[in-house]
Structure 1
Amino acid sequence: MPRLLPPEPERMNEHQQRVYQAIQSGPRGRVRGPLALWLHRPGLAEPAQALGQYCRYDSSLPPRLSELAILTMAALWRSEFEWWAHQPIALKAGVSSDIAEGIRTGGPIEFQHQDEQVVHAFVKTLVETRHVPEPQYQQAIEVLGRDQVVDLVGLAGYYTLISMTLNVFEVEPPDATGPTAFGAAG
């Protein structure tokens, strides 16, 4: 059971209802997970959902790379809900199941595309060391370009917020009844 449940739509104030409708009528098509929890504070939910919409749907990163970065963030944060929500999207966007499995387990990964290796290594280094060394930064600029590197950093920041929210409030996937993506039973 999560520590915090979303506010009930019929009990939301005008600001909460406006943000709820913006999320529901946008590309996500529904309100769940951290977005639903943030509705307790619509002043947080409104800009956060707009940033999330940009990171997922409007950034310069193609879906294959953004979803790869999201899976990397989910694994690094051990965010079960985020893994559950994005693993099928990542596969559909072109991330191979072998790469997804390597990210999930922390095992060896054989990347077929240099841009995927760069995205994964960049995000992993950034999260684990809180810094990206100059040679790695230059490689990312050469392979991805400035705009995609800027968007990648923004995506990592947004999915840190997502993962923190999910982990603090103990939001689990709807079907969390057995072993989870990262080992513990739900």
Structure 2
Amino acid sequence: MARIPYADTAHPDHVEAAAAIRASRKKVGHLHRMLLHAPPIATGWITMFDAVRWNSTLSGRLREMVICRIAAINGASYEWAAHAPIALAEGMSQAQLDALPAWDGSTLFDATERAVLAYCDAMTRQVHVPDDVARAVRELFPARQLVELTVTIAGYNCVSRVLEALEINGADVLPPDA
């Protein structure tokens, strides 16, 4: 059970933000229903994450790989459940997805993926990225994609932290979406 009730999409203070979420995501799910308690944050969230997911030049495969890795590190099962099917659709194999929680002991990831996963791990676990880890991704990606990768990792760490702090796990039955 989530720590606070989900917001009512029909509440006058939430209608505009709920419409923006629906326009982007087709429905107002658990996370977005919770964010509606703070409408400016909900609309800003959608704008930022639409940019990360749909307007980035970073491959969808790498994007979803780091999102799932973050979910594994942070124990964010709702995030994992939401993004694992997308990762598969973007080209990750089921074997890679299964190996992701312990990727560093796996031979299923190529040199680029290993550099990206090391960067993701450093950002998620330590915040301060060691120079050698940063250098490895900087040598692989142009500046735009390095920023996109960095913001994707930072952003989805934010997602998992919101999900886990508010205990949003997808098990709660949402009230009807107005």
TM-score bucket of the superposed structures, by smaller chain: 0.7 to 0.9
Instruction: Report what 1:180 is aligned to.
Output: none
**Residues 7 and 61 (structure 1 numbering): CA distance in 2 closer, same or farther, change over 3 Å?**
same
- Give the letter for the 1:13 counterpart: P
Rounded to whole Å, the distance in 1 between the matches of 2:110 and 2:38 is: 41
Aligned equivalents of 1:33, 1:114: Cα separation in 2: 36
Which of these residues, 88, 94, 97, is aligned with residue 97 of structure 1? 94
Aligned to 1:69: 66
Which structure is higher in RCO with an 8 Å CA cutoff and minimum separation 6? 2
* CA distance, structure 1, for counterparts of residue 8 and residue 38 of structure 2: 13
Q: Which whole-Å deviations, capped at 9, do the CAs of 1:4-46 have from their partners, x for residues lacking one?
A: 2321222x224x21111111112x2222132221100012111
- The SS at the match of 2:58 is coil
Report what 2:12 is aligned to: 13
The answer for unaligned runs of 5 or more in structure 1 is: 176-186
User: Which residue in 2 is equivalent to 1:38?
Assistant: 35
Instruction: Report the equivalent of 1:3.
Output: 3
Q: Shift of the alpha carbon at 1:111?
A: 3.5
CA distance in 1, matches of 2:4, 2:56: 31
> What are the superposed Cα offsets for residues 114-170 of structure 1, whole Å, 9 maximum, x if unpaired?
322221111001111211122221210111222111111111221122111110111
CA distance in 2, matches of 1:165, 1:129: 19
The secondary structure found in structure 2 opposite 1:159 is helix
Residue in structure 1 matched with residue 143 of structure 2 by the alignment: 146
Matches within 5 A, 1:30-179: 30-104=27-101, 108-174=105-171
TM-score normalised by the chain length of structure 2 = 0.88
User: What TM-score, normalized to structure 1?
Assistant: 0.84
Report if aligned partners of 2:8, 2:33 keep a CA contact under 8 Å in 1: no
Shift in Å, 1:107:
7.0
SS at match of 1:111: coil
Q: Secondary structure at the match of 2:105?
A: coil
The runs of 4+ residues in structure 1 deviating greater than 6 Å are: none
CA contact (8 A) 2:32 2:42 kept: yes
2:21 corresponds to: 23
Q: How many angstroms apart in 1 are the aligned matches of 2:70 and 2:54?
A: 17
Q: Aligned partner of 2:69: which letter?
A: T
Question: Is the alpha carbon distance of 1:142 and 1:71 closer, same or farther for their aligned partners in structure 2, counting shifts above 3 Å?
Answer: same
Question: 1:111 touches 1:117 (CA, 8 Å); kept in 2?
Answer: no
> Residues 117 and 33 from structure 1, CA distance in 2 versus in 1: closer, same or farther, beyond 3 angstroms?
farther
